[in-house]
Amino acid sequence: MSWALRIDRRLKNAVEYSELDTITTANGRAAAAERPGLRARKKKETRKLILKCANALFHEKGYAAATLEDIADRAGVHKQTVLRYFGSKEGIAMAFRQVALQKFKTGLQDPARTVPVLEYWRSFVETSAREVTERGDIVRYAKLVESEPGLMAASLAIQMQYEELLAAEFSREAGLDPVTDLESRFLAAFLVGGYFSVARHLLGRGELQNYVRTALYVVDFAVERFPRSGIR
């Protein structure tokens, strides 16, 4: 079993996607869930509380020093409750990244999606970059991830999932076999790798004012410079 697959399995319980009230796709459609009952609302609030307490402890004590017991005590729940919601400490740290990935996957694979894959990706990049810019703790979070090899590996595993999803949809859109369609894989690797490279570069320097514009530049660069047969 590859290291990426092992990490993916460790993170698969990081978020309970059925608890999301809505999933807004990049083409502007919102898939509304049924109004949650009391039990579902309590689970959602517990999950939020665990995340809030864990985030505080990660920055107070450091990621390595903060234990699952510490997080559970701060949140007033049992350690097994924390594990049931998130699977691991890495799952807690990567929770919002997993939510973003699931939103991307849901919208990309939505049979009702009408926009081309490349346009969907551009819209997703713009929305994600704006959300990152608005997060007041994103630079601190980026430094936290970079300080821990396990979190860096988990982050890379998530990036690989974006690439695989995007490559498969480029191939499907072109009517090609994803196994042999290397051009779609090249394009997906450039788009995803470029986006996350820009994110690391700007977050590392604390320069968020140009984040949205620079992230979109990666997509526009691909449209203008990539071989035309590679642009669907």
Mean pLDDT of the chain: 83
Q: Output the DSSP codes for 184-207.
A: HHHHHHHHHHHHHHHHHHHHHHT-
Q: Using the predicted structure, report yes or no on whether residue 93 has a pLDDT greater than 70.
A: yes
Residue 79 is predicted with a pLDDT of 96
Give yes or no for residue 213 having a pLDDT over 70. Answer: yes
Domain count, the chain: 1
Q: Which DSSP letter does residue 34 get?
A: P
Q: What is the pLDDT of residue 48?
A: 94
pLDDT at 18 over 80: no
Q: How confident is the model at residue 164 (pLDDT cuts 50, 70, 90)?
A: very high
Report the run of H or E that residue 181 belongs to, with start and end. Answer: none
Task: Using pLDDT thresholds of 50, 70 and 90, give the confidence band for residue 207.
Answer: confident
The single-letter code of the amino acid at 174 is A
Residue pointed to by tokens 């980026």: 142
pLDDT of residue 189: 95
User: Which pLDDT score, from 0 to 100, does residue 146 have?
Assistant: 87
Domain enclosing residue 65, as ranges: 3-230
What's the pTM? 0.77
> How far is residue 16's CA from residue 44's CA, in Å, rounded to a whole number?
9
- The alpha carbon torsion through 180, 184, 190, 192 (nearest 10 deg) reads -100
Backbone angles phi, psi at 178, to 5 degrees: -60, -25
CATH number of the domain enclosing 88: 1.10.357.10
At 35, the pLDDT band (50, 70, 90 cuts) reads low
